[in-house]
Structure 1
Amino acid sequence: MSESPRLLAAPCAYPVFFRTYSRRFQGVRESWEQVCERTVQDLATLGNFTPAEQALVLEMQQQLKALTSGRWLWVGGTDWIHQPENFSGAYNCTSQRIRDWRGFGLMMDLAMQGSGTGAVLEAEYFNQLPPITTRLQVTMLGQPGDKPAEAREKLTQVARQGGQVTVRVGDSRRGWVQAYQSLLELASEPSAEGVWHLTVDLSQVRPKGEVLKGFGGIANPALLPQLFPRVAGILNQAVGRQLTSIECCLLIDQAAATVVAGNIRRSAGMRQFAAEDQEAAGAKANLWKQDEQGNWRIDPQRDVLRMANHTRVFHHKPSREECVESVRSQFYSGEGAVQWAGEAIARSNRDLLDTPEKKARFLELYHEAPQRARGYLRELLLAPSQGS
């Protein structure tokens, strides 16, 4: 890797680069020049660049003046990213409204691809989840690496016999997701005894240190054995009712913690709660507490909340006092961010709200009723076609 004045001025750049963006080929790590060639070539193909455009982008990246995204530096130009099921791995951020169990599984799937995961945890969405009806009693069986590579199954198998359920975790991204989601589904499925006796078998999973041939890096299922009992513990506390926003958040974050330990470089989570949700507003307050001996301890039940940033979403323009309190909270704890949803949506529709008058009208309608504001956007979107 050739040295440049910029890199020499930032010695930490080397470990960050080789840890995060340099892939290993035939036992050798890529140089910066090789990463640039790999990623820009694929980007040029994707964007149908002219030779001059490709040369310019390559020059700017080599000189650290304009770079492709961090996600693309890792996956761009690989066979892995050209598989349709992996396309989301090129995205830095994703967001979805959590309203069914598939949403939880998708969040884990996206995290395992390295994408940032945003979850909208407002009551109008998570209240669509089915209530938790059945306790889960989990017994773990086997260890990652028990099965040789040629004998492993990639997909998760779920077998039932009466109140006994065996979940054999598959050795793949999809296998991990299937196993995780199966617990959520079972918890909302009635059982004659009021409990499912689950045996979770990890013997099919590859061991720590084995190469991940597609995505890259090495496997590390260190926290996978803890995932299932912890998920069951959260669900069991909600038997007889629906999950709260924080319980939904904890379920997502337990999966995120497992994924990060599994050698994905980050979870990069964002959780958006309704501004009126007071439990969520203070969920990350006082995570650390001091015991009588002066030792600081973190609440083990809420530790995983640190996997994501929390944002309070206002569907009306927040007051000056609410904004000041948000800034004060962020100054002291790093948490407490707020979002004025109307303004955020207006900015993301700048092509339609292209005059101050249109934007003002949209915000006025959003304040009255978000549905009316959505209707206004539809009118603007269809207006050109009506005149043609």
Structure 2
Amino acid sequence: MISVMKRDKSLVPFNANKIKRAIENAMAETKKGIDEDLSKTITDSIEEKILQRDMNVFVEDIQDMVEHELMDSPRKDVAKRYIIYRFEKGKRRSSKKKEVRLLTDDFISEYKHKPSPMKQLGEFIYYRTYSRWIPEESRREYWWETVRRAVEYNCSLVPTTREEAEKLYDNIYNLRQFLSGRTFWVGNTPVAKHYPMANYNCSFQVIEDFESFRDLFYLLMVGSGVGVRVLRDDVKLLPKVRSNYELINEDYTPIPKHEREDSTSLEFFHNDTAKIIVGDSKEGWVQSLDYYFKLISSNEYRNITTIIVNYDNVRPQGEKLKTFGGTASGHQSLKNMFSKIDKVINKLGIIFGEKKIKLRPIDCLDIANIIGENVVVGGKLSYASN
């Protein structure tokens, strides 16, 4: 029986299906897609050569043979994709310290080359929603990689045996068991480290002060689903707000990337004007809403009659996002949020004819929905969020 020597000098039985799977993975990353007949022809050719040798073979030798066969085939695009993949994998292997994992490479190896357990629609949903982009290899994760990343993260939260982790992996890989959908997206990424709430499909917020709106905004921004309770007894705890102010949204002139501020700042002019300068971060967006409510509800700002919102630090629409992945939504959805909340408050001022007014439950519900609309329309709630 012929064996393959891996890079760690261990031996595993030769399996031609792994070659076929590797070729088709490379094909899947090209515009022309998978050609099963060609992948089988190349696999059969390599298998025949290896069997004729009748001796153990190095994994690098097999990969060299795949490269040569692809270069001799009509699919030079696949050869290029395969060569780039090997090169990037080699760089990562040499620069990366050996990770101590519950799920070992030997355990994972049998899943790498299995066909996906999902059907066509499931594959579409998976790649659209959960598969993260791997910039070093210019591709998205495969299912076995996503499951490994999420399971490793989940098992890091509490003491877990290797046997338990492997059983969980097998169940999830074969669609018998699932983690939080958001953990599939953010588990074992900087997002999970800096925004742990991003792992929660559901959270809950009682609207009983203006900080509740800030917390609602933050939870939605990091990707958690949020339910709110808006009852008369809760809302009556909110202080009154002033309606005798003018909101001005400044025209947007984007600031160069290296000059942007992450945090939101507040500036004052002529004793009656405040400017909210929105920072380019999730925290910055949340801070801007917090400042707005403080300006119209706190007695210390009672002389402020003009509130200006400046969005120049917000990154332009379409710019790539590093931590969460995806692209930026731009400033427009945030601008719309402030304008709509302003309309709710000004309308109340007109209805009751007073400068200081109490928000009703329906008004608080409207504001909560406006915040949610900003997050969804702006792309912040989706898995390609800021």
Pick the TM interval, shorter chain: 0.5 to 0.7
The 3-state SS of whatever aligns with 1:199 is: strand
Distance 1:190 1:134, change over 3 A: farther
Residue 156 in structure 1 maps to residue 264 in structure 2:
yes
Tell me if 1:213 matches 2:329.
no
| Alpha-carbon shift at residue 88 of structure 1 (Å) | 1.2
SS, match of residue 368 in structure 2: helix
CA distance in 1, matches of 2:116, 2:307: 58
Q: Write the mapping of 1:268-347 to structure 2, written as runs, cut at 5 A.
A: none
- Aligned-pair CA distance for 1:4: 5.2
Asked if residue 258 in structure 1 is aligned to residue 370 in structure 2, the reply is: no
Tell whether 2:280 aligns with 1:171.
yes
Pair 1:188–1:217, CA change in 2 (3 A): same
Q: Distance in 2 between matches of 1:148 and 1:5?
A: 43
Per-residue deviation at 1:154? 0.5
What's 1:385 paired with?
A: none
Partner of residue 249, structure 1: 365
Confirm or deny that 1:56 pairs with 2:167: yes
CA contact (8 A) 1:134 1:188 kept: no
Q: In 2 relative to 1, CA 230–191 (structure 1 residues): closer, same or farther, beyond 3 Å?
A: farther
Superposed, which structure 2 residues align to 1:5-44 within 5 Å?
7-8=118-119, 11-26=120-135, 27-44=138-155
Indicate how the Cα distance of structure 1 residues 5 and 193 shifts in structure 2: closer, same or farther if over 3 A, else same. Answer: closer
Given that residues 43 and 76 in structure 1 are in contact (C-alpha distance below 8 angstroms), is that contact kept between their aligned partners in structure 2?
yes
> For 2:183, which of 58, 62, 72 is the aligned residue?
72
Q: CA distance change for structure 1 residues 157 and 194 in 2, over 3 Å: closer, same or farther?
A: closer
Q: Are the structure 2 counterparts of residues 65 and 193 from structure 1 closer, same or farther at C-alpha, using a change threshold of 3 Å? A: closer
State the percentage of identical aligned residues.
27
Contact residue 274 and residue 304 of structure 2 kept, 8 A: no
Deviation string 1:305-338 (CA, Å, 9 cap, x unpaired) is: xxxxxxxxxxxxxxxxxxxxxxxxxxxxxxxxxx
Q: What amino acid is aligned across from residue 225 of structure 1 in structure 2?
A: K
TM-score, reference length from structure 2: 0.64
Higher helix fraction: Structure 1 or Structure 2? 2
Equivalences for residues 224-243 of structure 1 within 5 A:
224-239=334-349, 240-243=356-359
How much does 1:63 deviate? 0.3
Summarize deviations over 1:175-198 as a string: whole Å, max 9, x none: 101111222222223589876212
Deviation of residue 25 (structure 1)?
1.5
Task: Tell me which amino acid in the other structure corresponds to 1:247.
Answer: D
**Quick one: structure 1 residues 192 and 206, their matched pair in 2 at CA, closer, same or farther if it must change by over 3 Å?**
closer
SS in 2 for 1:238: helix
| Aligned 8 A contact 1:136 1:232 in 2 | no
Contact residue 221 and residue 381 of structure 2 kept, 8 A? no
For structure 2, which runs of at least 5 residues remain unmatched after alignment? 1-24, 26-112, 350-355
In structure 1, which of residues 80, 88, 93 is the aligned counterpart of residue 197 of structure 2? 88
Residue 254 of structure 1 aligns with an amino acid whose one-letter code is: I
SS of residue matched to 1:165? strand
Q: What TM-score do the two structures reach when normalised by structure 1?
A: 0.63
The residue type paired with residue 20 of structure 1 is T
State how far apart, in whole Å, the 2-side matches of 1:185 and 1:246 are: 21
**Partners of 2:191 and 2:324 within 8 A in 1:** yes
Aligned-residue offset at 1:116: 1.1
Deviations 1:60-112 (A, max 9, x none): 011011011101111111122112xx121111111122111111001000001
Asked if the contact 1:133–1:194 (Cα under 8 Å) also holds between the matched residues in 2, the reply is no
Bigger proportion of residues as strand: 1
8 Å Cα contact 2:117/2:174 also seen in 1: no
Counterpart Cα distance in 1 of 2:299 and 2:116: 64
- Residue by residue over 1:132-186, the C-alpha shift from the partner in whole angstroms, topping out at 9 and shown as x without a partner, is 2233312222427x11111000111111221111111000001101111222222
**Residue 3 of structure 1: CA displacement?**
7.7
**Aligned residues of 1:140 and 1:199 also touching (Cα < 8 A):** yes
State the Cα RMSD in Å.
Answer: 2.2
How far 1:205 moved relative to its partner?
A: 0.3
Equivalent pairs counted in the alignment come to 262
Q: Deviations over 1:183-227 (max 9, x none)?
A: 222222358987621211110001111222122222103412212
Shift of 1:243: 0.7
